[in-house]
Amino acid sequence: MVGWVWKIVLVLCLVVAINSGVTVATRTTTTGNRRRRGEYLQYGLNVWPKPRSISWPHPEATLLSPSFNISSPSHPYLSPAVERYLLQILKEHYIPMFTPALNVSNSSPPLQTLAITVKDLKSPLGDGVDESYTLVIPSDNSGCGYLEAETAWGAMRGLETFSQLVWGEPSRVPVGLRVRDSPLFQHRGLMLDTSRNYYPVEDLVRTISAMSANKLNVFHWHITDSHSFPLLLPSHPDLASKGSYGPHMQYSPSDVASIVRLGLEHGVRVVPELDFPAHTGSWAGAYPEIVTCANMFWWPAETEWNDRLASEPGTGHLNPLNPKTYEVVKDVIRDVVTLFPDTFYHAGGDEIVPGCWKADPDVQSFLSNNPNATLSQLLEMFVNSTFPYIQSLNRTAVYWEDILLDQNIKVDPSFLPPANTILQTWNNGPNNTKLIVSSGYRAIVSSSDFYYLDCGHGDFLGNDSQYDQPPAAQQGDDADPPCKNNNNGGSWCGPFKTWQTVYDYDITDGLSQEEAKLVIGGEVALWSEQADPTVLDARLWPRTSAMAETLWSGNRDHTGKKRYAEAMDRLNEWRYRMVSRGVRAEPLQPLWCIKNPGMCNTVHPFL
């Protein structure tokens, strides 16, 4: 019955539009061609991330009918999204910080309906899914707007755009407007570490909701690490019961199911990461026999940095020589694949520290009995047992770049065929991205120089003498721990990554056209050594919004010039709207700057 009602409404809207001389295929004008910078915001039109193409030749608005409705085809995830957006649109009544200079048209009736059409309702949310949409709000007498999308996921993006176009009390909406939109990059993500500090489900829910509002589509969930194992797995419940911070700091299968479903209803994929073979000290509570150097002090006194057992407190690597390791690991992978339907499986593979493996008697014996043996061969042994198993479960394996680029322990590329492997970059900026794609691998960019949102808050080590030394003694070198150099405030990846730093980064910088095609997108990362629910929103937003726009529509205007200057006013407005939606995003400027447009700018860009 609902499907017939939807079809009748759509037909009526189209008939009225045709009789009024309006067609859905109206002329498109690239954003900025017709309007000077900031004029859309002046008129009350602010959408973040900025759409690829907007046509609004005669800025006008009409009222939104109190009985406004959204007609849509039935879909298990789009239908809940429609209900959610409808409620938000009718209840939000957002008042922009800068009062729009836009009058309500006397010739346009209130907007009664937004009619959604979707060409392919069966397309799953996954790698490379079509998220394009066209939104038309005509200035005629139909009282109808139109949202066309190839898939349900594109329709969700269009709904978010429409929700941001509605403002005021009573609610207003622009008319005579057409948006044609699609993302530049297919993978636009956020990585959150829930091992070092625990985040309740409601924090993950709020984060995924905010991601969807920013048109991000991948929640990379770094669930476990050496510090805790909060995921309750059916086959090995002791991993969580003995490896988590406590029974109240675990994620049950029902928790995961609710988070995955929430993600689908918001157009956000949930990609799990259980990092191994390094970063597995938390496994030792349940299975001490398969973890090397567990519960040992991370950097023994009077030893060199190269002789450490871990790169930060929290030791433990899985032992590739123990057959029990593979029994447990394969059970874990199978459970995780069952819990998470996404086609990506993030298998970690980063920061294998030689000292941890060398501290194990079995490894010592292996090396002494095989003079030509290397620790890289141990990693290859582990990958050769786990990578094919991940493939057999119809998953694409994602690894951190270290598995191929680490200077000390890495696998030969033959163990990881590019067709079935994606590598995530985090070190050495665009140089490592270049190394990966030039070898034929697809890349996800998470450069710590630009996208690590935990940086710039010092370090979490206690009894650190670097803070009690004269400046001349605070100079590190390549053999020192990353945090040794205090020029960055004690943070190895300092300084703090401002939103401008995030916004300015071009993730395909220095790549050829063919190489750039292998960059599927990027992710900001929030590691949680110094983050927990009390600071989550402020650490993520609105800096993550900056990346969201660059990966959706770029960071340049139609002339090719970087647009970070004009982005400030728009991002400021978007930050306040996110706050009104319950996201505690940090401020960008004093409120005075918004109330006095232009007075907080500078005309000295080279000082």
The residue among 591 and 9 whose pLDDT is bigger is 591
Q: What SS3 class is residue 151?
A: strand
Q: Are strands 519-526 and 291-292 parallel, antiparallel or unpaired?
A: unpaired
Report d(CA 176, CA 171) in Å as an integer: 17
Q: Kindly write down the DSSP assignment for every residue of 447-479, as one continuous string.
A: -TTTSBTTTTS----SS-GGGGS-GGG----TT
* Res. 490 pLDDT band, cuts 50 70 90: confident
Indicate the pLDDT class of residue 140, thresholds 50, 70 and 90.
Answer: confident
Q: Is the pLDDT of residue 190 over 80?
A: yes
In the numeric block, the tokens 């207003």 are attached to 172
Enter the DSSP assignment of 587: P
Give the residue, 124 or 560, on which the prediction is more confident: 124
Structure tokens, 527: 């590691």
Residue with tokens 């009718």: 90
Tell me the C-alpha distance between 187 and 521, whole Å: 4
Distance of CA 194 to the CA centre of its chain: 15
Q: Which residue has the higher pLDDT, 199 or 98?
A: 199
| Residue showing tokens 């996208």 | 451
Quick one: 145 exposed, middle or buried, by C-beta within 10 A (0-12, 13-18, 19+)? Answer: buried
Mean of the pLDDT values across residues 13-33? Answer: 40
Q: What is the DSSP string of 15-37?
A: HHHHHTT--SS----BTTSSS-T
Q: How far apart are CA 425 and CA 128, in angstroms?
A: 19
Per-residue pLDDT of 379-426, as tens digits, reads 999 999 999 999 999 999 999 999 999 999 999 999 999 999 999 999
CA 260 – CA 205 distance, rounded (Å): 10
Run of H or E residues at 421 = strand 421-425
Residue 547 backbone dihedrals phi, psi, to 5 degrees: -65, -40
Quickly state the pLDDT bin for 558 (edges 50, 70, 90).
Answer: confident
The Cα 444–Cα 607 span in angstroms is: 34
> Among 76-80, 193-197, 289-293, 483-487, where is mean pLDDT lowest?
483-487
List, for residues 216-249, the tens digit of each pLDDT value.
999 999 999 999 999 999 999 999 999 999 999 9
Is the per-residue pLDDT at 29 higher than 50?
no
Place of tokens 């990846």: 493
| Strand 519-526 relative to strand 187-193, pairing | parallel
Q: Per-residue pLDDT for 449 more than 90?
A: yes
Q: 201-213 and 152-165 helices cross at what angle (nearest 10)?
A: 80
Of the chain, the end-to-end C-alpha distance in Å amounts to 65
Q: Whole-number mean pLDDT of the chain?
A: 90
Over residues 283-314, the pLDDT tens digits come to 999 999 999 999 999 999 989 999 999 999 99
Lowest mean pLDDT among 71-80, 100-109, 356-365, 391-400: 100-109
Q: What is the pLDDT of residue 107?
A: 74
pLDDT value of residue 5: 47
What is the pLDDT at residue 557?
86
pLDDT at site 442: 98
Please report, rounded to a whole number, the percentage of residues in the chain having pLDDT higher than 70: 88
**What whole-number distance in Å separates Cα of residue 223 and Cα of residue 196?**
9
Compute the distance between CA of residue 480 and CA of residue 463 in angstroms, rounded to an integer.
17
Per-residue pLDDT, 40? 66
Query: Is the pTM higher than 0.75?
Result: yes
Query: Each residue of 524-555: b (16+ CB within 10 Å) or e?
Result: bbbbbbbbeeebbbebbbbbbbbbbbbbbbbb
Tell me the two tokens of residue 149. 């999308």
Helix extents (H) in 214-282: 238-243, 253-265
The arithmetic mean of pLDDT across residues 437-453, rounded, is 97
Helix H or strand E segment including 422? strand 421-425
| Residues 357-370, mean pLDDT to the nearest whole number | 96
142: left (phi over 0), alpha (psi -120 to 50) or beta: alpha
pLDDT exceeds 80 at position 525: yes
Mean pLDDT lowest for which of 8-12, 298-302, 526-530, 591-595?
Answer: 8-12
Q: State the pLDDT confidence band at 27, using cuts at 50, 70 and 90.
A: very low
Does residue 503 contact residue 567 with C-beta atoms inside 8 Å?
yes
Query: From edge to edge, which strands make up the β-sheet containing 53-55?
Result: 53-55, 177-181, 133-137, 144-151, 111-120, 60-71, 172-175
Q: Check if 92 is active-site.
A: no
Of the candidates 40, 245, 62, 189, the one whose C-alpha atom is nearest the C-alpha of residue 540 is 189
If you average pLDDT over residues 40-51, what whole number do you get?
Answer: 83
Given a contact cutoff of 8 angstroms between Cβ atoms, the answer to whether 466 and 447 are in contact is no
Query: How far is residue 74's CA from residue 80's CA, in Å, rounded to a whole number?
Result: 9
* Helix, coil or strand: residue 501: helix
Torsion angle defined by CA atoms of residues 428, 430, 431 and 435, in that order, rounded to the nearest 10 degrees: 120
Q: Report the percent of the chain where pLDDT is more than 90.
A: 79
Query: What pLDDT is recorded for position 15?
Result: 45
* Alpha-carbon dihedral 399, 401, 405, 411, rounded to 10 degrees: 0
**Residue 147, number of CB atoms within 10 A of its CB:** 25
Query: 524 CB contacts (<8 Å, ≥6 apart)?
Result: 189, 190, 191, 446, 451, 452, 453, 502, 540, 543, 544, 547
Q: How far apart are CA 154 and CA 75, in angstroms?
A: 13
Question: Mean of the pLDDT values across residues 556-562?
Answer: 88
Assess whether the previous peptide bond of 272 is cis (omega < 30° from 0). Answer: no
**Model confidence at 7, in pLDDT bands (50, 70, 90)?**
low
DSSP string, 81-121: HHHHHHHHHHH-----SS----PBPSSSPPEEEEEEEEEET
> Choosing from 60, 148, 351, 401, which is the catalytic residue?
351
